[in-house]
A and B are shown apart, each in its own frame.
Chain A
Amino acid sequence: MSVLPILPILLPFGAATIMLLLGPDRLTAQRVLALGSGVGGLFAAAALLAVADDGLITAYLLGNWPAPYGIVMVVDRLAAMMLVLVAVLALGALLMAIGGSDAARLDGKGRHFHVLFQLQLAGLAGAFLTGDLFNLFVFFEILLLASYALLMHGPAPAEEARVRAGLIYVVLNLVVSSLFLLALALTYASLGTLNLADVARLLAVLPAADAALARTAMALMAAVFLLKAAVLPMSLWLPQVYSRAPAAAAALFVILTKVGIVMLLRLAVTGWGGAIATAGLLQPWLPVLALGTIALGTVGAFAATRLAEVAAWLVLVSSGTLLFALGFLTPRGTAALLFYLPQSTLFCAALFLLAGHVAARRGALGDRVTRGPAASGRGWLLPAWGVAAVGLAGLPPLAGFLGKLMMLQAVGSGGWQGPWWTVLLLSSLGVLLVLSRATGPLFWQATEAPLDDLPAQAGVAGVAPQLGLWLLLAAGVAMTVWAAPMSDFAARTAAQLFERQAYQAAVLGDVPVQRERRP
C-alpha cells in the first residue's frame, strides 16, 4: 500500500519533531524545515488530488487492521481538495510569519512558533483524512491545542486582551470537546462502532426502537461541528479571538471554521444519508440560523473598528453562507458550497494578512480604521486590498461572484428563495460598503504627521510576507481563471459524496465484517 495518503500528516509531524530536537534557537533551520514541510505538503496534497479525481476512494488502513476495528484514513475528492487548500493557506501564513527583521518577525515572538504551526497542520490534515470519529476527536484536539498556543503569539501591548480572549476560546472548546466525547460514547453505545462508514451502514438498518439514542448522539455531534463553524447562537466567541490572533495564525484559523462545516457535511451526507434515526436533524432550523449568522456577521463588520475585526466578522458571513447551502443536503447545494468554500477561505485569510501588513506599517495606529499617516508601501498594498475586497464582496470579475450565483441558484424556487436572496444580496452590499468605507481612512486620506514609533514594527516589510499575501490572492484569482474546471470538480465532488455505497465499500470492503449484536 502506498504511504501517500498519510504523508500530509506525517510530514508536519516529522518536521515538528525535528524542530523540537534542534531546539528553539536554530531559527533558520526551523524556517527551512517549515517551508520544506509546507511545499512538500502541497505536493503530497496535489498528488492525492490527482489520484482522487479519478473517482477512486483510497482507504489507508493503519497497521493493516481491517476497517471497523482499526483506524482508517480515507482519501476522496473532498478530503484531497481540503488538503490542497490547507497547504496553500499554510504556505501563505508561513511566508507572512518568517519575514522581516529580528524585531518584528512573528516566529521570534515565541520559542516554538514553527513547532506549533506544524502540529496544527498535522491536526488539520488528520481531521480531513480520518474515517474514524474518535480519531477525528483526537486530531481536533491536536489542532485546537496548537491553535490555543499560536493565539498567544503576538505583540506585547495587546497581551491582556489576548489572554482574556484566549481563556474564553479555550474554555468554550474544552466544554465542546466534552460534548464531542459524550456524542462519541452515545454513538458507540447505540451502534457499537465509531467508524464513519460503519456508522452509515448501521444507521440505515437501525431498528426504530433504538433510534432515540443514536439520534441524540448525532444531534450532539452536529452541535459540536456547528460551534466550530460559529453558527449564530454560538458565534460571538469568534470575532474576539480571531481579531486578537497574530495575522499569520489568524489566516490559518480561517480554515478551522471550515473544518466544522466540512465535517458536518461529511457526517450528514456520508454518515446519515436518509436514515430514519436522523431525519430532520438539520431542517428547518439550520437554514434559519445560517441566515441569522450572515446578518450578524454583516452588522458586526459595520461596527468593527479594526481591519482584523472586519475580517473576523466576514468569516462569520462566510460560515453562514456555507451552512445555509449545507442545510438542504442536495447535490446541487453541496456543489455550490464546495465551489464557494476555497475562495471564501482564501480571501478571508488574505484579509487577515493584509490587516497584519497595514498594522505593521502604521505604528501605534495599528490596523484601526481611522485616518493616519501614510503607510509606507501603500503602492502595492492598495492593489492587494482591491483584489481582496472584490473577492470578498463577490463582485463580477472574480469567482466570488460565480460562487454566490451558484449559491443563489442552488435553493431553487421553493419557499426559501425569498429570504435567501434577500439576506445574501443585502449582506454582499453590506460587505461592499464596509470595505469601501475602510479604503479611505486606511489608504487614501493620509495625514501629514510622521510615524514616530514605526521602526519597531517595520520588519514585516520584507519580501516574504508580501509573497505570502500575494500567494493567497493569486490562488483566489486562479479560481476565477479556471472557474469552469473548478465548478466541474465541485460537482464531481458533490456527486461522489452522495454515492454512499461506494464510500462504504471502499472503507469496509465488499463484505462487511459481521459482528454479534450486543445485549
Chain B
Amino acid sequence: MALALASIVAMLVGGGVWLLLRPRSWSVVLGLTLLGYAVNLFILLSGRIGSRQPPLLLEGAGPIADPLPQALVLTAIVIGLGMTAFLVALALRGVASRGADADDADRIGEGPIDHHDAGDAE
C-alpha cells in the first residue's frame, strides 16, 4: 500500500517537475497542479496509511486513522485551488498582453506561438 502510494507520488512529482520546466505558462500551471496532487498524497502518507484503520470513531472498531493529516490535506487542497486559480488568471493576462502563451519563447528562440488559447483569452 505504502509502496504503491509512494510510487504514485514519485511519478506525479517527476511529471510535475518536467512540466514546470516547459517554456509555456499553460504547462507550468499543469505541472504545479501535478505537484500539488503529489504533495497532498504525501501529507496523507505522513499519518501512516493502514488498510484496517477507518477514519471514523466507531464503538469497538480498534485503531482509527490519524485525523490530523486529513485536516492538513483539506487545508492544502483549498489553498492550492485558490493559488492555481490566481495563476491561471495571471497567465491569461500575460497571454492577453503578449498575444501568445510563450513564457520563455523569446529567450529560447521559438518566437510567438499561434494557438487557440490566445484567442479565447481575449
Asked whether B47 lies within 8 Å of A188 as measured between CB atoms, the reply is yes
Asked whether A178 lies within 8 Å of B46 as measured between CB atoms, the reply is no
Asked whether A164 lies within 8 Å of B94 as measured between CB atoms, the reply is yes
Task: Provide the residues of chain A in CB contact with B68, threshold 8 Å.
Answer: 188
**1/0 contact string of B30-70 vs chain A (CB within 8 Å):** 00100110110011011110000000000000000010110
Asked whether B75 lies within 8 Å of A134 as measured between CB atoms, the reply is yes
Q: How large is the interface on A (under 10, 10 to 19, 20 to 34, 35 or more residues)?
A: 20 to 34
Query: If the complex has contacts A159-B97, A167-B94, A184-B72, are A174 and B83 also in contact, measured as CB distance less than 8 A?
Result: yes
Find B86's partner among A134, A149, A178, A186 (CB 8 Å cutoff).
A149
- Return the chain A residue nearest B16 by Cβ: A178
Within the complex, the shortest CB–CB distance from A151 to chain B, in Å, comes to 10
Find B98's partner among A141, A160, A175, A185 (CB 8 Å cutoff).
A160
- Return the chain B residue nearest A180 by Cβ: B39
Asked whether B46 lies within 8 Å of A189 as measured between CB atoms, the reply is yes
21 interchain pairs (CB within 8 A)? A138-B75, A138-B79, A141-B83, A148-B86, A148-B90, A152-B90, A160-B97, A167-B91, A167-B103, A170-B83, A170-B87, A171-B32, A177-B79, A178-B39, A181-B43, A181-B76, A182-B42, A185-B43, A188-B43, A188-B46, A518-B48
Task: Provide the residues of chain A in CB contact with B20, threshold 8 Å.
Answer: 171, 175
Residues of B within 8 Å of A, CB-based: how many?
Answer: 32
Tell me if A284 counts as interface (CB < 8 A to partner B): no
Tell me if B82 counts as interface (CB < 8 A to partner A): yes
How far is it, in angstroms, between the C-alpha of A408 and the C-alpha of B122 when the chains are bound? 56
Task: Tell me if A's interface is mostly helix, strand, loop or mixed.
Answer: helix
Tell me if A163 counts as interface (CB < 8 A to partner B): yes
How far is it, in angstroms, between the C-alpha of A174 and the C-alpha of B80 when the chains are bound? 8
Task: Provide the residues of chain A in CB contact with B75, threshold 8 Å.
Answer: 134, 138
Task: Provide the residues of chain A in CB contact with B25, threshold 8 Å.
Answer: 167
Asked whether A185 lies within 8 Å of B32 as measured between CB atoms, the reply is no
Asked whether A188 lies within 8 Å of B36 as measured between CB atoms, the reply is no
Asked whether B83 lies within 8 Å of A177 as measured between CB atoms, the reply is yes
- Return the chain B residue nearest A181 by Cβ: B39
Within the complex, the shortest CB–CB distance from B21 to chain A, in Å, comes to 11
Asked whether A170 lies within 8 Å of B72 as measured between CB atoms, the reply is no
Query: If the complex has contacts A149-B86, A170-B86, are A186 and B97 also in contact, measured as CB distance less than 8 A?
Result: no
Task: Provide the residues of chain B in CB contact with A178, threshold 8 Å.
Answer: 32, 35-36, 38-39
Asked whether A175 lies within 8 Å of B97 as measured between CB atoms, the reply is no
**1/0 contact string of B78-113 vs chain A (CB within 8 Å):** 010011001100110110011000010000000000
Task: Provide the residues of chain A in CB contact with B36, threshold 8 Å.
Answer: 178
Within the complex, the shortest CB–CB distance from B42 to chain A, in Å, comes to 5
Query: If the complex has contacts A159-B97, A185-B45, are A175 and B35 also in contact, measured as CB distance less than 8 A?
Result: yes
How far is it, in angstroms, between the C-alpha of A134 and the C-alpha of B94 when the chains are bound? 32
Within the complex, the shortest CB–CB distance from B20 to chain A, in Å, comes to 7
How far is it, in angstroms, between the C-alpha of A141 and the C-alpha of B85 when the chains are bound? 14
Task: Provide the residues of chain A in CB contact with B103, threshold 8 Å.
Answer: 167
- Return the chain B residue nearest A213 by Cβ: B46
- Return the chain A residue nearest B40 by Cβ: A181
Task: Provide the residues of chain A in CB contact with B91, threshold 8 Å.
Answer: 167
